[in-house]
Structure 1
Amino acid sequence: MNRILIVDASSSDCRIMSGLLTKAGYDPVAVSDFDAAKEEVEKLPPGAVIVTAMKFTGGTAQELINWQRQERLNFPTIAVVDNLNPSELLELMRNGIADVVQRPAIDKQLTEIVKKYAKPENMVLQLDNTLIPRSSKQFKNIEKSIAEIAATNANCIIFGECGTGKEQIARQIYLQSSRTQKPLIMMEAGGAALVGKHAPESDRSEIYDRIEGYFREAKGGTIIVKNIQLLTFEKQSVLLHILEQEHPDVRIICTANATLMKMVAEETFRDNLFFILRQTSINVPPLRETTEDIPDITDYLLSKYARKKQQPKKRLDASAVKALKLHPWPGNIRELKDVVLFAAFHTDGETISESAIKFDNAQPDTAEDLTHRNPKAEKERILKAFTRAGTWGGAAKLLGISERALYKLRKKHDINPDREIGS
C-alpha cells in the first residue's frame, strides 16, 4: 500500500483523513509537528505522498517543501487549505505545492487527489522461489524433470530466455533434493566481482581463491550459477580445474540462454566444462509458446497483488486475456508480471479489460533467431504464430521479425499465403 504522510495539528482532521485514506487502500501515518514530519519524510518509500496543513506546530507547508529540496527529496505535497482564492492557489503551485484539498471538502476531494500522485513504484511485487502453478503440457514435463533431477546428484543446466523463471526452477531442484540441509549459494557469472574470499598471501590467483570460496561455503550443498554464458574464459578455466582436480562435494545448477550453445560451437566456452556442467538439462519454453499458461500465471499474480494491497482480487476479462495471448512477450513472465500489475494498479474496479493493458513496444528484440532452429521446428513455429495471430503481419510480430523476413521464410518452407504447405 502507498504510504501517505499527514502533517496537521488538528487531531480530529488527522483522524478523518486517516480513515478516508485507509478505506481507500492507503497506509496513512499522521504527525502534528515539523520535527516529526521531517523524521517521517526520511522514512517514506517510493510512491508516497505528503498531505499537509498550510501551518502546523513548528512549521509550514512551504518550509517542509524547502527542507525536502535541501535533502534532495521530491515527494508530491498536497496542501489542505481553507477557501483560498484563485490567485493564492496559483502562488502555492508556483512554490512547489503539487495540489490542494479544500478543508471543508476533505471527504469529497482527498482520496481522488491523492490517487493522482500515488505512484505505482510502491506496487513492486517480488516473485518468491515457488513455481507458479501452470497447466500446459510443457510445464508439467518441467515439473516431472525437476523431481527426476532432484533425486540424483547430477549437475544441470537450465536453458531459457530472460524472464522465463529459470532461477525458480533451479531452486526447486535444490528444495526437492537431499541436499536441503546443506547450503545453497548463488553465484552471478556476469557479476563485476566475485564475492568469494581471497587470501592475498596465497600463491594462487585472486579469481581462483574467490571461486574456490564458493565451493568451501557450499560444501555438501548446491551452487546455482546464474547466466553461466557470461563467465570469462579465465573463470571457466578456474572452475574446470576445481571440478576436475578437487572433486568438491557440491552440485552445480546453472542457468543459461541459447548463447551458450553457440559459444561452445565457436569454442569461446570450454566444451569440457560444458559437458561437466550439463550432465542433464531442462529447456524452458518462452511464454509465447505456452500462451495457454497465461490465465494461470495472471491469476497467481493478481492473487498475490490483492493480498499485498489488502484489496479484493481483480480479474481479467476475455478481451484482456486475448490481448495478452497475442503479445510476443520478449521479456516472458517477468514482462507479463509488470504489464498485469500496472493494469491492476490503474484499474478502479475489479475487472481488468483490454484498454488497461499497456505494452512497451520499445523493448529490445530478444526473439529467438529462427535461423538457428532446425527446419522442421522453424516451420512449426511459423505456422503456430500464424494460427495464434490470424494474419501474417501478426505472425511476424509474434516471431519478433519483420514481415519481409517472414515472407522469405515462407518461401523457404513453401508455405503459401493461405497457410497451406506445398508438396
Structure 2
Amino acid sequence: MNRVLILDANSSDTRFMSGLLTKAGYEPIVAENMDIGKKEVAKLPLGAVVVTAMRFHRGTARELIKWLKAEGYRFPVIAVVDNLNGLDAIEVMQDHGAVAVVQRPALDKQLTETVGKYVRPADSVGLTGDALIPRPSDEFRAIEREVSRIAASKANVIIFGESGMGKEHIAREIYRRSNRTDKPLTVLEAGGAALVGKHDPASGNSEMYNRIKGYFNNAAGGTIIIKNIHLLNFDKQSVFLHILSTEHPDVRVICTAEPELLEMVTEKTFRPTLFFHLREVDITVPPLRKTSGDIVPIAEFFLYCHADGNKGQVKRLDASAVKALKVHIWPGNIRELRNVILLAADNVDGDVITATDLPISHSSPETRDSLRLRNPNTERQMIADALTQTDGNLTQAAKLLGIGRSTMTYKVKQYGLKQ
C-alpha cells in the first residue's frame, strides 16, 4: 500500500485528509511537528509522497523541503495552501520546492487526484521506475533547481547529455512538475518505428506528416517527449518544423539529445530553425566521470533498490569496491553503473561486495570527452582530478588519462602536484 506522510497543524484537516486518502487506497501517516516528521520520513518506502501545510508545529514547508534535500530524500512534496491564485501557487512551487499545490478549501476535490500523480508502488521504483536518482553533487542539485524552474514555464526544452545519463527521467520529471499533468503525455523515439512513413510533400499526401500530426492532435494541451532528437532525418525535421512554426499546436515538446546535436546544427545536418523552436531552454547533464562524487551514492541507491525488490539485506561495498568504482571512466554512465551493481548484487552470496565481485568491462569504447590530455590549458587540472579520483595512485591515474606511467610521473613533477 502506498504511504502518504501528512504534516499539518490543523487536526481536523489532518483527520479529513487521512480519511480521503484511506478511502482512495493509500496509507496515511500523520506527523504533528518537524521532529516527528523527520522520524517518519526515515521510515517511508520508495514511492511515498509527503503532504505538508505551509506552516506546522515547529516548522515550515520550506524548512522541511530544505532538510529533505540535504539528507538526500527525494520524496515528492505537495503543499497545502490557503486560497492562492495560480500565479501565487507557481511561486510557492518555485520558491519552496514543492512539486504541486492543493488548495485547502478544495481538499476533497484536489488531494487524492494530486497525490495519485506522484505516488508510486515501492516495487515499481528504482529498478523500473523513472524517478530521478538521488545524487549529492552540486551539478545535479543545480539541475534539480532548473527542472523546477523550467517545469513552471511553457517553454520547449532540450536535455543534452551522453547516453545512459537518465535524460528521459529528467524529461518526465519536468512533465510531472508542470501544470500539464492532467493532459496526455506521449513519448516518441526519434529513430524508432513510431515516426516511420513516406514523405512526399509535393503530392500533398505525406504519410509521415499525417502520423506526426496525429501525435500532436492526441497530445493536445499536454506534452510530447522526443528521445534522441539528433536521430531525426531531414524529412522528419521538415515535418516537425512545419507543424511547430505554422500550426502552433498547444503541445509542449521536451527533447533529449546527445551533444553531437550541436555539431549537427553547425554543419546544417540538423535544421537550425527547428533547433531553436525546440531549444527555448535547455539542460546539460554532465557525464558521470565529471561528477565522480555521485558514483558511490548512485551505486548504493541501486543496492538499496535491489534489496527492496528482493526483500533482502542491503549489500554494501567494501573499500576495494569503492576504489574500483571511482577509477573507472564509465563510458556507459549511470546505465553501465546500474548493470554492474545489479549483477554484483545478484551473484555475491554474502552481504559485502568487493572489487573482484564487480563485473566492470575494460573493452568499452573511448569516451568522446574523457579525461585524456588534449588541452594544455586544462592539463594540470585534469591531472589533479585524476589523482584525486584514484587516491594518488600514479598507475591508475595514468590509465584514467590514457597516458603512460612515466609521462604521468613527469607531469606530476612538472606541475608540482602532490600524490
Q: Same fold (TM over 0.5)?
A: yes
TM-score by length of 2: 0.63
Structure 1 residue 166, shift from structure 2 partner? 0.5
- Which residue of 2 is the match for residue 175 of structure 1? 176
Q: How big is each residue's C-alpha offset from its partner over 1:242-268, in whole Å with a ceiling of 9 and x where there is no partner?
A: 100000111111111111011111111
Distance 2:269 2:379 in 1: 26
- Which residue of 1 is the match for residue 49 of structure 2? none
- What's the Cα RMSD here? 3.1
- Which residue of 1 is the match for residue 400 of structure 2? 398
1:10-409 paired onto structure 2 within 5 Å: 126-194=127-195, 203-368=204-369, 380-389=381-390, 390=392, 394-399=396-401, 402-403=402-403
- Which residue of 1 is the match for residue 411 of structure 2? 416
Secondary structure of the residue aligned to 1:133 is: coil
Structure 1 residue 210, shift from structure 2 partner? 1.3
Higher radius of gyration, 1 or 2: 1
Q: How big is each residue's C-alpha offset from its partner over 1:137-181, in whole Å with a ceiling of 9 and x where there is no partner?
A: 111101000000001011111111111111100100000000100
Q: Percent identity?
A: 53
Q: How big is each residue's C-alpha offset from its partner over 1:266-323, in whole Å with a ceiling of 9 and x where there is no partner?
A: 1111111111111111111111111211232122211111122221111112221111
Distance 1:292 1:140 in 2: 13
Counterpart AA for 1:343: A
Counterpart AA for 1:291: S
Checking the alignment, whether the CA contact within 8 Å between 1:183 and 1:218 is kept in structure 2 is yes
Checking the alignment, whether the CA contact within 8 Å between 1:196 and 1:209 is kept in structure 2 is no
Structure 1 residue 363, shift from structure 2 partner? 2.0
Distance 2:416 2:279 in 1: 37
Structure 1 residue 204, shift from structure 2 partner? 2.8
- Which residue of 1 is the match for residue 121 of structure 2? none
Checking the alignment, whether the CA contact within 8 Å between 1:197 and 1:213 is kept in structure 2 is no
TM-score by length of 1: 0.62
Structure 1 unaligned blocks of 5 or more: 1-124
Distance 2:182 2:197 in 1: 21
Secondary structure of the residue aligned to 1:403 is: coil
Checking the alignment, whether the CA contact within 8 Å between 2:157 and 2:253 is kept in structure 1 is yes
Checking the alignment, whether the CA contact within 8 Å between 1:196 and 1:213 is kept in structure 2 is no
- Which residue of 2 is the match for residue 41 of structure 1? none
* Shift in CA distance, 225/262, structure 1 to aligned 2, threshold 3 Å: same
Structure 1 residue 403, shift from structure 2 partner? 1.8
* Shift in CA distance, 275/177, structure 1 to aligned 2, threshold 3 Å: same
Checking the alignment, whether the CA contact within 8 Å between 2:197 and 2:207 is kept in structure 1 is no
Checking the alignment, whether the CA contact within 8 Å between 2:371 and 2:400 is kept in structure 1 is no
